[in-house]
Amino acid sequence: MGISRDSRHKRRATGGKKANLKKKRLYESGRPPAMTKIGATRVHTVRVRGGNEKFRAMRLDTGNFSWGTEVTTRKTRILDVVYNASNNELVRTKALVKNAIVQVDPTPFKAWYEQHYGVKVGVKKAQKKAAAEEMAEKKVSNHVQRTHAERQKTRTLDPALDEAFASGRLLCCVSSRPGQSGRCDGYVLEGKELEFYTRQLKKRKQ
């Protein structure tokens, strides 16, 4: 039968039956969902209407994630799917879909932050002093020292994000459509959005 996206087979809003006066059309057809999983990259190309191509990701394990407040993007590993507002089944099967909340490896972001500000991020409280001393001992040119000092003036880091860096679990939201574009890109959760999803995850654990 295939997947059909027509509405001729449906009843009217009043509940009355409609006469189906034409057959199914190719332009009304749909395709099964990709249900992209975490694993070594495997992408299929699909020939679609107009001779165009879609990229159906079957497995993906990396993506480009944007850190909005710092205006930087880094390619990083996707570790796990932790939340999906639409369906818990998609969390259980670890499906990568748009708007899924995923855990990613924070190492590329930590490395960038250290290089950009000259400050170690995601350090546990007990080790903060030692980390600061270590960074101070690092030999850098006077120009780099001045650049870091200038950037320090406007530097702010959300404590919740710092905690996420320390735990090695950075929460991100997928904003691309892996089953259509063959990519799993998104953005780092911050501020109110991060608070909200942290609350939701705690609720699920209870």
Which conformational region is residue 8 in: left (phi greater than 0), alpha (psi within -120 to 50 degrees), or beta? alpha
Distance CA 36, CA 34 (A): 5
Q: C-alpha distances in angstroms, 194 versus 9, 114, 121, 148?
A: 43, 22, 18, 28
pLDDT of residue 97: 95
Phi, psi angle pair for 54, to nearest 5°: -115, 155
pLDDT of residue 136: 57
Q: Is the pLDDT of residue 102 over 70?
A: yes
- Over the stretch 122-166, which tens digit does the pLDDT of each residue have? 776 655 655 556 665 677 788 888 888 888 887 888 888 888 888
Mean pLDDT (the chain) is 89
